[in-house]
Amino acid sequence: MNAVATATVTTKDTNEVIHDAPVLRDYHMNDGYDWMELIGEHGWAVIPSWGCDGWDLGQWPYVMLAGIRTADSIGNLFGIATYCEGDVTTSYYRTQARQWDAITEYAFFQWKSGQAQGPDDLPEAAAELPSRYRMPYTVNAA
């Protein structure tokens, strides 16, 4: 069983059928660190942190989220793949904004459930998160 394949997918935000998209599959060999290395060879990258202060986005090497930006003949495609002890789910979005929304919802679940360290002032629902918690973490180099 190969952890990386091409498949026909439907984008979550626009319901478009996309052929030959790079899709991550279940990976029950070795561990999450090996999965990270393998998917990196195929254009995917694990996202370690989220939000303005870089809160955890999983529990490495057991729980992770990876992203990819690719394209088809129509335009950009933005994918995410969740990894939980080898079980992998891949989703695609036509816009980066929808990809970020999906990552934010994932982050909120991780933070709210206590599975990953997040902000202390979480609202009751992901939709109520302030914008500073809904973006990639960036390091300001001084």
Q: Give one DSSP letter per residue of 2-71, joined into a string.
A: -SEEEEEEE-TTT--EEEEEEEE----SS-HHHHHHHHHTTT-EE--EETTTTEE-SBTTTEEEEEEEEE
In this predicted structure, the answer to whether residue 27 has a pLDDT above a threshold of 80 is yes
Predicted local confidence at residue 100, as pLDDT: 97
Q: How confident is the model at residue 7 (pLDDT cuts 50, 70, 90)?
A: very high
The residues spanned by each domain of the chain are 4-118
10 Å CB burial of residue 29 (0-12, 13-18, 19+) is exposed
Q: How confident is the model at residue 120 (pLDDT cuts 50, 70, 90)?
A: very high
Mean predicted confidence (pLDDT) in 125-140: 93
Q: Under a CB-based contact definition with an 8 Å cutoff, are residues 46 and 52 in contact?
A: no
What percent of the chain lies above the pLDDT cut of 70?
Answer: 98
- pTM for the model stands at 0.94
Q: How far apart are CA 66 and CA 40, in angstroms?
A: 9
Q: Is 113 helix (H, G, I), strand (E, B) or coil?
A: coil
Q: How far apart are CA 134 and CA 110, in angstroms?
A: 14
In this predicted structure, the answer to whether residue 4 has a pLDDT above a threshold of 60 is yes
* Mean pLDDT, the chain, whole residue set: 95
What percent of the chain lies above the pLDDT cut of 90?
Answer: 94
Predicted local confidence at residue 2, as pLDDT: 84
Mean predicted confidence (pLDDT) in 52-79: 96
In this predicted structure, the answer to whether residue 141 has a pLDDT above a threshold of 80 is no
pLDDT digits 0-9 by tens, 75-114:
999 999 999 999 999 999 999 999 999 999 999 999 999 9
Closest CA to 107 of 61, 69, 53, 32: 53
Predicted local confidence at residue 1, as pLDDT: 56
> Which residues lie closer than 8 Å to 67 by C-beta, 6 or more apart?
44, 45, 47, 78, 79, 80, 81, 99, 103
Q: In angstroms, how far is the first alpha carbon of the chain from the final one?
A: 45
